[in-house]
């Protein structure tokens, strides 16, 4: 690391709050970057677990440590950006890690593609112990070499804020992170950059490791958190609607707003609050009276809720019960549901649980899959079924390989 401002290429900014052990692993991965000159700024967002003393003792002057009253991650990132001296900013969440070549590859990309103001890389998943999770890389759904509003509205980001490197001037020009947003701040930043004419590339290399753990499963089934996320997302979309958008982008934003309304409708249906169900039904009808007559939005919400429900009690039954209640509600609006597609969605939810759970979940998923094939033999002619069968078949093998390698 080189602290001479004229030599610094990248300012690494690590916001943290009460993650004394994990933040040290994050700092280690930042300082282990090869081929670039950098400064590492740790912004402590009011920790009371002795994070500061641990950082100062372990790293001394190798790290710039600053403390602020607890204001949230976005405020901490913005504070770090104000202190930064590098041409580029790279944010690293305190529970995530980088591959040693991450910044080098991104700086090289930016120097070769000067038309871009930022670049994302892909990311792999790790668990609380830092072991690789058997899943597709974050961002593998993207085939594009650059982002556009239509691409991320439809497919999402390649990763999280830990995957982005951004030109400091561009970041400051859009005002940094919106400190009023606690859920979706990374995508909000990207929306603002793209809406104002900045361009962002995609480096198709998994150079970030995103840690999944109990603390990171922030929504689960707490009403206040769901409501806060809903309000944050509407704020993000309404900000985007203030720009002059083409018809395609406007339609995608409208679709995502409808998804937010339906997500809340299903949440209140699940916890049996009929008044709230009516409220969100009204919001949906005001925007698109035909929306609930299509099964696809309900299938998308099942995919969204599956991990949240499973992580409550690690019970596959909770997920499958939810699927049935969603179908029952959907049938009130849709007189011609697709039985084959319903079956495939149920199998997909069960197989997801099997990939994350234990042998009991795997057996349950296998039993359900066979039972559904016998009840609906027509599904054997669908590629969707065989993708799930392959996924289910390979899960024990992949888990055994990963276990043997640790």
148 vs 256: CA distance, rounded Å: 16
146 vs 135: CA distance, rounded Å: 23
- Pair (209, 340) in one structural domain: no
Is 229 a member of any domain? no
- Pair (202, 340) in one structural domain: no
Is 279 a member of any domain? no
- Pair (60, 190) in one structural domain: yes
- Pair (39, 179) in one structural domain: yes
DSSP code per residue over 77-135: HHHHHHH--SSEEEE--TT-EE-TTHHHHHHHHHHH-TT-SEEEEEEEEE-TTSPBPSS
Is 80 a member of any domain? yes
Is 116 a member of any domain? yes
- Pair (338, 202) in one structural domain: no
Is 56 a member of any domain? yes
Quickly state the pLDDT bin for 218 (edges 50, 70, 90).
Answer: very low
Strands 118-126, 164-167: pairing kind: antiparallel
Closest CA to 188 of 74, 43, 308: 74
Beta bridge partners of 225: none
Residues 96-113 have a mean pLDDT of: 97
- Pair (339, 209) in one structural domain: no
Host domain of residue 374: 306-313+334-406
Is 268 a member of any domain? no
- Residue 109's pLDDT is 97
pLDDT > 70? residue 214? no
Q: Which of 216, 244, 260 is the last residue of a domain?
A: 216
Is 242 a member of any domain? no
Residue spans of beta strands (DSSP E) within 195-343? 200-211
Check which CATH number belongs to the domain holding 131 and give it.
3.90.550.10
- Residue 312's pLDDT is 79
Q: How far is CA 128 from CA 73, 96, 108, 398, in A?
A: 20, 10, 31, 18
pLDDT > 80? residue 404? no
Q: Which of 191, 216, 241 is the last residue of a domain?
A: 216
Q: Which of 216, 237, 264 is the last residue of a domain?
A: 216
Total domains in the fold of the chain: 2
Question: Which tens digit of pLDDT belongs to each residue from 147-195?
Answer: 999 999 999 998 889 999 999 999 999 999 999 999 999 999 999 999 9
Could you tell me the pTM of the whole model? Answer: 0.88
- Pair (207, 339) in one structural domain: no
Name the one residue in this structure whose structure tokens are 């594009």. 144
- Pair (36, 164) in one structural domain: yes
Residues 330-351 have a mean pLDDT of: 93
Instruction: Report the chain's mean pLDDT, rounded to a whole number.
Output: 92
Is 226 a member of any domain? no
């Amino acid at each position: 690391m080189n602290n001479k401002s004229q030599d610094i290429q990248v300012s690494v900014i690590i916001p943290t709050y009460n993650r004394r052990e994990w933040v040290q692993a994050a700092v280690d991965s930042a300082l282990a970057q090869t081929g670039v000159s950098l400064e590492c700024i740790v912004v402590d967002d009011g920790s009371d677990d002795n994070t500061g003393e641990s950082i100062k003792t372990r790293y001394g002057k190798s790290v710039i440590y600053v403390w602020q009253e607890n204001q949230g991650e976005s405020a901490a990132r913005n504070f770090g950006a104000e202190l930064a001296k590098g041409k580029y900013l790279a944010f690293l969440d305190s529970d995530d890690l980088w591959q040693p070549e991450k910044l080098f590859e991104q700086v090289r990309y930016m120097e070769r593609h000067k038309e871009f103001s930022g670049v994302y890389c892909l990311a792999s998943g790790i668990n609380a112990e830092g072991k690789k999770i058997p899943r597709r890389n974050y961002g593998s759904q993207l085939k594009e070499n650059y982002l556009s509003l239509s691409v991320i509205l439809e497919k999402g980001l390649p990763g999280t804020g830990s995957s982005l490197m951004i030109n400091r001037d561009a970041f400051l020009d859009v005002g940094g992170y919106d400190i009023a947003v606690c859920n979706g701040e990374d995508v909000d930043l990207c929306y603002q950059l793209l809406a104002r004419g900045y361009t962002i590339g995609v480096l198709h290399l998994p150079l970030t490791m995103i840690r999944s753990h109990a603390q990171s499963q922030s929504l689960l089934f707490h009403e206040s958190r769901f409501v806060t996320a809903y309000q944050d997302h509407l704020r993000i979309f309404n900000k985007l609607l203030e720009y002059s958008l083409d018809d395609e982008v406007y339609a995608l934003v409208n679709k995502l707003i409808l998804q937010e309304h339906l997500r809340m409708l299903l949440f209140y249906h699940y916890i049996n609050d009929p008044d709230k169900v009516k409220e969100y039904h009204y919001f949906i009808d005001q925007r698109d009276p035909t929306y609930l007559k299509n099964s696809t939005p309900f299938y998308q919400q099942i995919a969204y809720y599956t991990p949240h429900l499973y992580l409550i009690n690690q019970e596959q039954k909770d997920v499958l019960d939810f699927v049935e209640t969603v179908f029952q509600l959907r049938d009130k609006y849709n007189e011609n549901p697709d039985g084959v597609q319903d079956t495939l969605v149920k199998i997909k939810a069960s197989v997801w649980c099997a990939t994350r759970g234990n042998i009991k979940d795997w057996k349950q998923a296998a039993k359900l899959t066979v039972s559904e094939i016998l009840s609906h033999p027509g599904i054997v002619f669908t590629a969707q079924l065989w993708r799930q069968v392959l996924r289910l078949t390979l899960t024990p093998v992949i888990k055994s390989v990963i276990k043997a390698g640790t």
